[in-house]
Structure 1
C-alpha cells in the first residue's frame, strides 16, 4: 500500500484539485492522509466532504510547529509500505500510483524512487516538463538538490533508519532528508512525469527565496563535512549566482554579469 500525505493550511484554492488527482488514480491500494494546521478558510469543509465519500482519506486538524512537524505527523500516521508527500497545490498525473507500485514490485530492493515534474501556472496551464538527470549519486546531490519532492516515493522503513524531516529546517527540509537517505541507499529514477508543481502568486517572496537559498547552502556545506567531501569555490559561486537572481531577477542579474565581464575584458 502507498501512503500519500498532504499538509494543508488555508489551501481552499487548490486542495480540491489535489484531492481529486489522488482519488482518481487507477491504483486503488492507497491511504490518503491530510494533515491540516487549523485552517480558517474552507479547506476543512472540502476535506470533510471528500472524506465522507472515500474511506481511504484520513485527516487531522491541529496546531503544528511548522512544515517539517506537519509532514512528520503524516509519516507517523502512515501504514503503507511506501510514503509520499503531495503538496496541497500540486497534483498527481493519471496512472502515477500504478507506475510507482509496479516499479517497487519489479525492484523490491529499491528504497526510494523519484521521477519528473510538470510545471503549471496558477490556472493549470502547462509551462514545461522537467527532465531526468543523468546522475543522482550522493556526489551529485551534494552539489545541488536535484530531487523533486512531489514526484518522490520512499519506503516507510527508511525513516526509521535515517530519521524524519528536520524541524531545524524551514525551507530545505527535503534536501536535508535526501542527503541522509542517499548516504545509505541509491535513489532510483524513472524518466516519467509523475506529478505537477504549481507556480503561482502565493509562492515564496523574495526574502523567503533568499532565506531558502541560504539554508540550502548551509545544508550542503554541513553534509560535505560529514561525508568527507571537498568543498569547492564553485559552490560559493553557484550560491552567489542563485542569491543575486533571487534578489534582482534574472534579467537584472544578466545585466550585472555582462557589465562585470566587460570590466574584466577592458
Structure 2
C-alpha cells in the first residue's frame, strides 16, 4: 500500500487488512513523503503487528512508490490496496483460494464503490471465469466485468519481475495492467465484491464519477497510454489486435461525447485531436464488428455524418 497525506483515512485501510481471515501475509506500507501523520500512523500499527513493514521515501509518483514496495516484497503472490479504500475481511482468502484452485497467475474479485456515503456496485458479476491471456485482456478492455485498477487483483510475483510500474505519469494502472494480463498463462475472475473503492474529491480517479473533473493533462496521458496499449497488444497478442484498436477508438469517441456534452472548454485541444483521429479512421471504426450503436450515434453527431 502506498500512502500520501491520508491521515484521516489510512487507519481504516490498514484495519481492513489486519482483520483479514487469511492471516499469513506481509503488509508493506510505503509512506510516499507524507507531510501529515500518515507515516506515523503506519509506524504505530507496525509497532504492534510484525507483519507490517513501513518504508518512508521521498515524494515520488505512484509507480515509483509501488516499485519500491515490490522490491521489499517476499510473498508468492502480491496484491495492492489504496490508502483510502477498504477490503472485505475475506478478500485475501478469496483471492488466494481462487489462484491456488486454478493454478492461475492472476485472480481477481468484484468490487463496490462508495460515493457520497452510498455504496454502489462497481465491478460485480456472479460467474467464475477461467481465461486465457487473450480472453482476460479483451474482458479488461470491455470494462464491463473488471477494469485496470490494481486493487482487487492478486498476481504471482514473477509477473512483476518481468514488468515494472512506470516511473513517470500519474495514472500508472492503465499503462501496465493489460501487460500483466497478457503475460499471465491463466487468469481467474469471480465477481463477488471483496473490495470497496472510495470515490471522493481528493481521489486520483475522481474523474471516473464526475466528468467535470476531466483535465487536458489526464486526457493526454490516457490517449498516449492507449496508443501504446494498442501497439503492445498487437505485437504480443496478434489475435486480438483488431479489438485493441477498436478499444482505443472507443475511448476517443467516449471522451468526445463527454467534452461536448459538458462544454469542457479547457479540453478543446484534446477534442480537436480526437475528432481528427476519428475522421482519419472513420470507416474502420464505424464499420468495426465490435462498435456499439451508441458509438455510431456519437460518430454521426460529433465527427461527421454517413
* 1:92 pairs with one of 87, 90, 103: 87
Question: Do residues 21 (structure 1) and 1 (structure 2) align?
Answer: no
Question: Do residues 8 (structure 1) and 3 (structure 2) align?
Answer: yes
**d(CA) in 2 for partners of 1:180 and 1:155?**
10
Deviations 1:45-72 (A, max 9, x none): 2112211221111001111542111101
- Taking a change above 3 Å as real, the CA distance of residues 106 and 240 of structure 1, as seen in their structure-2 partners, is closer
Q: Normalized per residue, which structure has more helix?
A: 2
* 1:224 pairs with one of 215, 227, 233: 233
Displacement after TM superposition at 1:249 (Å): 5.6
Task: State whether residues 77 and 157 of structure 2, in contact with CA within 8 Å, keep that contact through their aligned partners in structure 1.
Answer: yes
Higher relative contact order, structure no. (Cα contacts within 8 Å, ≥ 6 residues apart): 1
3-state SS, counterpart of residue 137 of structure 1:
helix
Q: What is the TM-score normalised by the length of structure 1? A: 0.81
**d(CA) in 2 for partners of 1:258 and 1:177?**
29
Deviations 1:133-181 (A, max 9, x none): 9777155158456344210001112222x22213255314454243244
Task: State whether residues 116 and 129 of structure 1, in contact with CA within 8 Å, keep that contact through their aligned partners in structure 2.
Answer: yes
**Aligned residue in 2 for 1:182:** 182
* Number of aligned residue pairs: 255
Question: Do residues 239 (structure 1) and 256 (structure 2) align?
Answer: no
**Aligned residue in 2 for 1:3:** none
**d(CA) in 1 for partners of 2:123 and 2:141?**
19
Gaps of 5+ in 1: 1-5
* 1:33 pairs with one of 28, 34, 38: 28
Moved runs in structure 1, 4+ residues, more than 3 A? 132-136, 141-148, 172-175, 228-237, 245-252, 256-259
- 1:43-122, aligned counterparts within 5 Å? 43-107=38-102, 109-122=103-116
* 2:214 pairs with one of 188, 206, 209: 206
Gaps of 5+ in 2: 205-212, 265-293
Deviations 1:24-64 (A, max 9, x none): 11211111100011100121121122112211110011115
**RMSD over aligned Cα atoms:** 3.2
**d(CA) in 1 for partners of 2:77 and 2:234?**
30
Task: State whether residues 7 and 70 of structure 1, in contact with CA within 8 Å, keep that contact through their aligned partners in structure 2.
Answer: yes
**Aligned residue in 2 for 1:260:** 301
Q: What is the TM-score normalised by the length of structure 2? A: 0.71
- Taking a change above 3 Å as real, the CA distance of residues 139 and 66 of structure 1, as seen in their structure-2 partners, is closer
3-state SS, counterpart of residue 53 of structure 2:
strand
Displacement after TM superposition at 1:250 (Å): 6.6
**d(CA) in 2 for partners of 1:258 and 1:106?**
45
3-state SS, counterpart of residue 196 of structure 2:
strand
Displacement after TM superposition at 1:240 (Å): 1.9
3-state SS, counterpart of residue 107 of structure 2:
strand
